[in-house]
Structure 1
């Protein structure tokens, strides 16, 4: 396979960042639930081959939050560093992350996060109810006044998903 030099444009870059730094960049508006033990098992078996994506417009990671949490779970339970994850000079886990080609707006970045997390779910033939179970709802019902804005955003995202895939 030959590589190609691309002169300019909105290109993607793969860079390694410390796992704890990546965890700090997770998208707080991502209401999707993750099966962390299952993700961790998959990473142990197959390696870390699907880097998270950072969006500069969003200022966060719209895709790959659960995979990062699974890596933290592996690290914190004493597992060996999976294939695809590096160690810095002090032994800290470092993960590949994709940067570049940021969304044109905050709304576009959030829509990408919804699509990236749900297009494969929609293709699996889940019903609206089954898809809704993948998203956190009970936690939003117990929110404090300070987190109402985040709760509203989560509700808006859920409506986007339902409209896009099921209505």
Structure 2
């Protein structure tokens, strides 16, 4: 029996100028743009962005698109997977054929595509072994994919404590390990004082700080952060906030 066409349109790939791709009206996901740029340089542009056929706006791939904008603006060579038109503009692969039923539908998918993959967690033993093997060949590559030295040490220590592997029971892997926090759970610890904050996070690569505004204040804040970032040559909102804090207190932040 041959393949049957469903009620939805077939998925196709179009190449569109990076500057012509329209982002979603709002996107709550923040991005580590310097890391995304480095990942694209290393691996090429692997995964296409997705456009909503109903709105004509992006539903997935905002971070990757922003990284391409940064790279093109800096006159870097186009990465593998990105083509160039006759005018020299970069063309990004866009998956088309999916259409939302409503604005809520589109925003729900946008959140789900970012949030749901993380909900499955990690197999701690397999992750430790994988990172150990990557680290043996290229420690910088291991750091590039988001695992700093202290995190690798924690994972390998857990592997050694259990004689080479964690219990195969998913419930055991999901639960916090006896004697300390699960090293694969980067958001498990909560600090209530500056002393606890320093003790808990000094050895970590990065942490998330959530700033929340409503309505017009959010739009205004994002616009100001972007403009300040361009003025100061900073690539992320986090760098802009850090620079503003340093200016306000008259003190340079500590080295990362």
Question: 1:39 Cα shift?
Answer: 0.5
Please show how residues 39-118 of structure 1 align to structure 2 within 5 Å: 39-118=36-115
Which residue of 2 is the match for residue 158 of structure 1?
Answer: none
CA spacing shift, 1:119–1:7, aligned 2, 3 Å: closer
2:25 paired with 1:28: yes
TM-score, normalised with respect to structure 2: 0.48
Matched residue SS, 2:111: helix
1:137 and 2:136 aligned: no
SS at match of 1:97: strand
Larger-Rg structure: 2
Quick one: distance in 2 between partners of 1:102 and 1:95?
19
For 1:45 and 1:145, how far apart are their aligned partners in 2? 34
Question: 2: distance between equivalents of 1:56 and 1:46?
Answer: 28
Cα distance per residue 1:15-68 (max 9 Å; x no partner):
00001001xx11131011100010010000000011110012344112100100
Tell me by how many angstroms 1:101 deviates.
Answer: 2.1
Between Structure 1 and Structure 2, the one with more strand by share is: 1
| Alpha-carbon distance between aligned partners in 2 of 1:17 and 1:144, rounded to the nearest angstrom | 32
Q: Do the aligned partners of 2:59 and 2:106 also contact (CA within 8 Å) in 1?
A: yes
Inter-CA distance 40–145: structure 2 relative to 1 (3 Å threshold): closer
Q: Distance in 2 between matches of 1:18 and 1:96?
A: 9
Distance 1:111 1:83, change over 3 A: same
The separation in 2 between residues aligned to 1:48 and 1:6, in whole angstroms, is 31
Runs of 5+ in structure 1 lacking a partner?
A: 148-167
- Residue 117 of structure 1 deviates from its aligned partner by 1.2
Q: Is the 8 A contact 1:17 1:96 kept in 2?
A: yes
Measure, in 2, the Cα distance between the counterparts of 1:122 and 1:145: 27
Normalised to the residue count of structure 1, the TM-score between the two structures is 0.70
Q: 5+ residue gaps in structure 2? A: 122-184, 191-206, 221-256
Distance 1:93-1:5 versus aligned 2 partners, 3 A rule: farther
SS at match of 2:24: coil
Q: Which has the higher contact order (CA 8 A, sep 6+)?
A: 1
Report the CA distance between 1:127 and its aligned residue. Answer: 4.4
Backbone CA RMSD of aligned residues: 3.0
In structure 2, the CA distance between the partners of 1:92 and 1:145, relative to structure 1 (3 Å rule), is closer
